[in-house]
Amino acid sequence: MTTTLREAKARLSEMVRLASRGEEVVITVHGKETAMLVPVPKRQRQVDREKWLRQL
């Protein structure tokens, strides 16, 4: 999916949900692709969760 920065700001929660489900969300500024929301790899999420649990 490609969207403008203005639209992404207005619908950020939806864009993050789409990315978390595996969809790449490309954000444009003045018609140029500038950024991309992508899901964090599952392995990275597991490592982050383990790190968080160790800090408790």
pTM of the model: 0.70
| pLDDT reported for residue 42 | 74
Q: What is the pLDDT of residues 1-56, one digit of tens each?
A: 999 999 999 999 999 999 999 999 999 999 999 999 998 877 766 667 778 788 87
Sign of the Cα torsion 39, 45, 46, 47 reads positive
Q: How many domains does the chain have?
A: 1
| pLDDT reported for residue 4 | 98
| pLDDT reported for residue 44 | 66
Tally Cβ neighbours within 10 Å of residue 34.
12
Which H or E element spans position 18? helix 12-20
Q: What is the CATH number of the domain that holds 43?
A: 3.40.1620.10
Quote the domain boundaries for residue 28: 2-54
| pLDDT reported for residue 45 | 64
| pLDDT reported for residue 54 | 86
